[in-house]
Amino acid sequence: MKNHIGPAIRLTLVLLVVLSVIYPLVIAGVGRLAPGSGKGETVSINGKLVGYALVGQKFTEDRYFNSRPSAVEYNAAGSGGSNKGPSNPDYLKAVQARIDTFLVHNPGVKKEEIPVELVTASGSGLDPDLSPAAAKIQVARIAKIRSISADRLNQLVDEHTQGPLVGLFGPSTVNVLKLNVALDALK
Amino acid sequence: MSTELLGVLAMYGLTVLLAIPLGKYIANVFQPESANGPFERFIYRIGSIDPTREMSWKENLVALLTINAVWLIIAFTLLMLQGILPLNPDGNPSMTPALAFNTAISFMVNCDLQHYSGESGVTYLTQLFVMNFLMFVSAATGIASLLLIVRSFLPNVVTTVGNFYVFFVKAITRILLPISFVVALLLVFNGTPASFDGKDRIVTVQGDTVGVSRGPAAGMIAIKHVGTNGGGWFGANSAHPLENPNYFTNMVEMIAQVLIPIAMLFALGYLINRRRFTWVIYGVMTVGMLCLLIPTLITEIHGNPAIAQLGVSQSTGAMEGKEVRFGPLASGYWSIMTTIISTGSVNSMHDSSMALSGTMELLGMMTNAFYGGCGVGFLNYYYYLIIAVFISGLMVGRTPELFGRKVEAREIKIASIVALLSTLLVKGGVALAAWVFVNYGDANWLVKPSAWLNNPENHGFSEMLYEFTSANANNGSGFEGLGDNNFFWNYATGIVLILGRFIPIIGPVAIAGLLSQKKYVPESSGTLPVDTATFGLMTFAVILIITALSFFPALALGPLAEYFSLK
């Protein structure tokens, strides 16, 4: 035991320098070449920063494409899911309430058309995306409020739909922040 | 949905394709004649380590435990003082002793249970000097432990089993550091932060003022997967959009965490020159993995039956706790891989998984030997192997032996103790927790026992079962609804973590050390061949029976009961 304490301490110190100082500094250095300089890519309107491209935001107003429910209210100072189990009665009541609210705000939509991600919270509470179906189900509402044709809005959703990775792997997504920024820019 | 399935198949396929050459590379790194480079020699010189010195299995274990103790002291001290130390741009506080105890142990043992949230509970200093550091060294400890048993498979009778320090240092310099570096760069160029800037404050499009946590995260997120650690930079782990920005990074992180566990198997095949033997083991582990994975994928695609009754469309599957960019299949795949290989990172919230998936996640941790963590995965499999050899020996009426060495009472005793220990730790722990919950609901802790559970009934029980199972398996994922930052959970799981880490390392290393000192009897027609499908099936049966007997009652009270109540 005793003759291993010295080597243990010295080995630890040299590895701390390599792994905890040099390694992160090199990555931070190379990261300056990445989009957003390794600080997170931002989205701005007329030079004013309105968000981080990858971090979802709360959109609850009827004139925007609404984002998913969030357990942390989209405050990225923290993150997390609801951690509600599938059989939890209170949770199921909350989902029912979200369905009812959605139907009130989107007259004409049938219950069985509502994609489940619109009434369930994401894992991070910061989900930046919707499925294309979850965006398009909101088009009629927004078209009416903004007096823009539904066709134009559907087209906007399609333009902002990110297909599967290299066309093969994973689901299609729509970044809600970018979609809404583009929506505001529509004349 | 078909592109999602294709994504899962691609993730697994690429993992195996990469693991085969990596296994060969790892074997070359650790061949006895493989030279040390200038970087390693520099590290040995500073550490005053003689890389040519051979040590017995006992001395190697002493070296391993001593250096782990040094890390524990450093980690505990830094966590207790982080609030007043530099590199704390967000002004986060120091940890309480109970939380620091749990966190320091948890990262030292390659588990990464996190009873704090990364955004508010730690500083950039501790993220780098405690989390990031321990992620490297605990993974290297696991790999080195596996290498300590290699000689027991070789014909020579030996009293020394190698040098822990050499295995340990080379695991970092030749394997973990280079792979992590590549993964980190892939993450950075896809949007994961790497700079030292602190939390940002922004006003959103709708006018809300919110914070956005950041930091030098990419490097840590890389080793978190490469070293099968699993602790997230952010609270939501790899569900967080900065920690895992898109489907590509999801594939990278997923492949990175399964890569070394599978490659270590192939490396072992080269090192002991019995590649058929390790392919059979790979087969057993893969069958085990599929038994857990397939039901999970099916249940997640079908969605939550209780939500189906509410009448909405579940064409995207079960989405509570899941991210749109991954979908239920990539999330289900992740939840099984991360629980069988002891990473414990998550890209969806397991607490909200379907009941059957929760069962499979728990089973993955309870067996803990399908691929398993960096190095330690095979060590866990090893004691199942020893028991399988023993039982088969009894069945055919021959002295049980493994590669020319008699397996006798002492070895079986050690293997059985290790196998039974996990049952004791998990079920004993849950029983204690349930007792406290029922009898001391008002205990004046940071979280009162009556407020521990985020879900009622069977699912609440599952939350407690999951926490102890995860601690014992050194996994680190959680049913995170559990209010675990308090006296009881911090200390109880802290103790389980240490026992669940070091006993399954000490046991197999001791067995192998004892075996390698025994007389070598060349294999003959009377030898039970262990590199056949029959013996693979036998081992699988042993794993199944031990796990089922140990844990079925607990599973029946938790996720299984919930599953049947939802039908």
pLDDT, tens digit, for every residue of B243-277? 999 999 999 999 999 999 999 999 999 999 999 99
Place of tokens 């078909």: B2
Residue ranges of B 240-279 with Cβ closer than 8 A to chain A: 240-242, 245-248, 250-251
Asked whether the predicted pLDDT for residue A1 surpasses 70, the reply is no
Q: Look at B66 and A5 and tell me if their CB atoms are within 8 Å.
A: yes
Whether the CB-CB separation of B112 and B137 falls below 8 Å is answered with no
Q: Are A141 and A59 within one domain?
A: yes
Among all residues of chain A, which has the CA nearest to that of B72?
A: A12
How far does A67 lie from chain B, in Å, by closest CA? 11
Q: Look at B202 and A52 and tell me if their CB atoms are within 8 Å.
A: yes
Q: Are A124 and A175 within one domain?
A: yes
In whole angstroms, give the CA distance from residue B103 to residue B209: 32
**pLDDT value of residue A35:** 87
Q: Is residue A49 part of a domain?
A: no
Asked whether the predicted pLDDT for residue A44 surpasses 70, the reply is yes
pTM as predicted: 0.96
Residue ranges of B 203-222 with Cβ closer than 8 A to chain A: 203-206, 208, 210-214, 216, 218-220
Asked whether the predicted pLDDT for residue B178 surpasses 70, the reply is yes
Q: Is residue A169 part of a domain?
A: yes
**pLDDT value of residue B526:** 77
In whole angstroms, give the CA distance from residue B148 to residue B289: 26
Q: Look at A170 and B3 and tell me if their CB atoms are within 8 Å.
A: yes
Q: How does residue B186 score in pLDDT terms, banded at 50, 70 and 90?
A: very high
Asked whether the predicted pLDDT for residue B567 surpasses 80, the reply is no
Residue bearing the bigger pLDDT, B425 or A2: B425
Kindly state the percentage of chain B with pLDDT values over 70.
100
Residue ranges of B 526-555 with Cβ closer than 8 A to chain A: none
CA-angle at A166, arms to A163 and A172, nearest 5°: 20
- Rounded to an integer, the average pLDDT of B42-59 is 94
Q: Is residue A115 part of a domain?
A: yes
Residue ranges of B 118-137 with Cβ closer than 8 A to chain A: 119-120, 128-129, 132-133, 136-137
Q: Which residues of B456-484 are buried (b: 16+ CB within 10 A; e: fewer)?
A: ebbbbbbbbbbbbbbbbbbbbbbbbbbbb
How far does A51 lie from chain B, in Å, by closest CA? 6
Asked whether the predicted pLDDT for residue B548 surpasses 90, the reply is no
How far does A186 lie from chain B, in Å, by closest CA? 15
Residue of B1, B206, B250, B465 to mutate for A, most A C-beta atoms under 10 A: B206
Q: Residues A102-140: pLDDT tens digits?
A: 999 999 999 999 999 999 999 999 999 999 999 999 999
- Rounded to an integer, the average pLDDT of B446-466 is 92
Question: By the CB < 8 Å criterion, does A185 face chain B?
Answer: no
- Rounded to an integer, the average pLDDT of B122-141 is 97
Please give the tally of structural domains in chain A: 2
Q: Is residue A3 part of a domain?
A: yes
Chain B hits for A81, CB-CB cut-off 8 Å, are: 236, 239, 320-321, 348-349, 351-352, 480
Task: Tell me the average pLDDT of chain B.
Answer: 94
Quote helix, strand, coil % in chain A, to nearest 5. 50, 10, 40
Q: Is residue A68 part of a domain?
A: yes
The DSSP secondary structure of B389-419, one letter per residue, reads HHHHHHHHTS--EETTEE--HHHHHHHHHHH
Asked whether the predicted pLDDT for residue B327 surpasses 90, the reply is yes
DSSP state of B313: B
Q: Look at A77 and B210 and tell me if their CB atoms are within 8 Å.
A: yes
Kindly state the percentage of chain B with pLDDT values over 90.
88
Please state the φ and ψ torsions of residue A45, each to the nearest 5 degrees: -115, 120
Q: Which class for B394: exposed (0-12), middle (13-18), buried (19 or more C-beta within 10 A)? A: exposed
In whole angstroms, give the CA distance from residue B34 to residue B24: 13
**pLDDT value of residue B1:** 66
Q: Residues B492-537: pLDDT tens digits?
A: 999 999 999 999 999 999 999 999 999 988 888 778 888 999 999 9
- Rounded to an integer, the average pLDDT of B420-448 is 92
**pLDDT value of residue B312:** 92
Q: Please tell me the least confidently modeled range out of B235-239, B279-283, B520-524, B544-548.
A: B520-524
Asked whether the predicted pLDDT for residue B391 surpasses 80, the reply is yes
**pLDDT value of residue B522:** 86
Task: Tell me the average pLDDT of chain A.
Answer: 95
Domain assignment of residue A2, given as a range: 1-39
The DSSP secondary structure of A106-172, one letter per residue, reads STT--GGGSBGGGSS--SSS---EE-HHHHHTTHHHHHHHHT--HHHHHHHHHHTEE-SBTTTBS--
Question: By the CB < 8 Å criterion, does B198 face chain A?
Answer: no
Q: Are A4 and A83 within one domain?
A: no
Question: By the CB < 8 Å criterion, does B485 face chain A?
Answer: no
Please give the tally of structural domains in chain B: 1
Asked whether the predicted pLDDT for residue A45 surpasses 80, the reply is yes
Q: Are A118 and A166 within one domain?
A: yes
**pLDDT value of residue B34:** 83
- Rounded to an integer, the average pLDDT of B127-147 is 96
Asked whether the predicted pLDDT for residue B445 surpasses 90, the reply is no
ipTM at complex level: 0.96
Domain assignment of residue B482, given as a range: 2-565
How far does B498 lie from chain A, in Å, by closest CA? 19
Residue ranges of A 19-58 with Cβ closer than 8 A to chain B: 19-21, 23-24, 26-28, 30-32, 34-41, 45, 49-58
Q: Are A163 and A80 within one domain?
A: yes
**CB nearest A124 (choices: B212, B250, B323):** B323
